[in-house]
Amino acid sequence: MKNRTRKIVSIGITMIALIALMCVFSAGCGSSAVLTITENNKQYSTFGYGYVSVEVPETATSYNVKVSTGTGSESNKSRVEVIEDIRPTVVDVYGYAADGTSAGSGVIVYADASTDASPEYYFVVTNHHVIEGCSTFTVSLLFINKDTGEETYDNYSADLIGSSPSRDIAVLRIERKSNEEIKTATVIEDSDTVKVGMDVLAIGNPLGILGGTVTMGIVSATARTVTVDEVGSMTLMQTDAAINKGNSGGGLFDTNGNLIGIVNSGYSSYEGLNFAIPLNDARFAADSFLETYRETDGKVTQYGYVKGDTELGIGCRTMTNVYENSTSDIRGSYVVAGVNSTTSPLLPAWGTGSQAIISVKITSNGNTVDYAIGNINDMEAVMKTITAGDTIEFTYRSVKQIRVNIGMGLSTTKYYLDDNTQTAAITAPQYVYLIM
């Protein structure tokens, strides 16, 4: 299976600086996100994704699914009985691409509401990084015989309904086979009611080969701010339940059997540092996909999206020791941006090359706000305020370079800012993930 790397760039806790260079592990595109903790060198980046931004019609398939909710009240069932109930709702997810195969997990959350007795379609919630870059998908379902306890698996081909890299949530659809009874998870009514110290169960497919694995722990934190490389800032539940490569997309349940989160990340170097997307956030994205995807004769013709989510296709970093101009000895640090030539609407606005961002002006619903850009944190915060349809005006100076002789036949590259201050304005497009 193909391994890819994903990093956490920062966590808002003081001790992180002490362990900044030590937390790395590998993962497939369908496994727990590969994470590294660092305190400094934050980077806002949207490069490296296989997706584009497109204009999307307002008309879409009607929302026609049902979901079971629970309040988290105490169950009369034993823990063994609860686990037996919820294990079949967690599935193994396999994605296939030209350059490899990924393995992860998912949870059956929604059922087709058109026929209550035997729904035709079921919908699996998983992580975006489980399906990222893949073009076809298989979901493996667990079935437990009520009389004998015998466990069997059956594979289903799955269609992508929608996905969001920034939210790390995706939805797949499977069609029920006539001889099988598929179970959906009961989701907690409001994941904001989850408390630190609650016992939780994590179920998933660690290593991509151990489907249906159950681990137990507690909720260590309910709203940990974590900055994930290639995703950005996320607010996640923290748990000490064992999470391993392949668990991504699986379920975090309370001991009453209610789904409270979608597992998406963990550390191998430090036990007990694992994270899940709170169910409220996961459902917001998944509900949006189901409301906006379109189909014809059972075939998905338009992937679902989250209204207002946008993607500008820019990558930003801090460039130090940039000269004010080609002759000056004054040096400083600047937030420098470049664009992805295949996805960015900024390309025709400011052309290729790197630009030192001076300020950003955003006009939304008739209101205009100017933001001065002093550091990379300013830039990341501004980018998160943009929604589709907003007008964004960048004020910038182009970054130039010259070769400078330093003696003994050696030379170095000197970076400096163009004398001209320029502006480029674009309208933020609606973002939709597409399989490339």
Query: Which backbone phi and psi does 259 adopt, to 5 degrees?
Result: -70, 125
CB-based contacts of 329, cutoff 8 Å, min separation 6: 323
CB contact at 8 A, 416 and 356: no
Query: What distances in angstroms separate CA 212 from CA 151, 184, 199, 224, 247, one per listed residue?
Result: 10, 15, 19, 27, 10
CA torsion angle 330 331 332 336 (round to 10) = 120
E strand residue ranges, 279-328: 294-296, 299-302, 314-323
How many C-beta atoms lie closer than 10 Å to residue 223's C-beta? 12
The rounded distance, in Å, linking the Cα atoms of 48 and 231 is 11
| β-pair type (431-432, 52-53) | antiparallel
Count Cα neighbours of 82 within 13 Å in the Cβ-side half-sphere.
21
Q: Token pair for residue 289?
A: 């996909």
Task: Mention every residue, 6+ apart, whose C-beta is less than 8 A from residue 362.
Answer: 368, 369, 371, 382, 385, 386, 390, 391, 392, 393
Active-site amino acid positions: 129, 168, 248
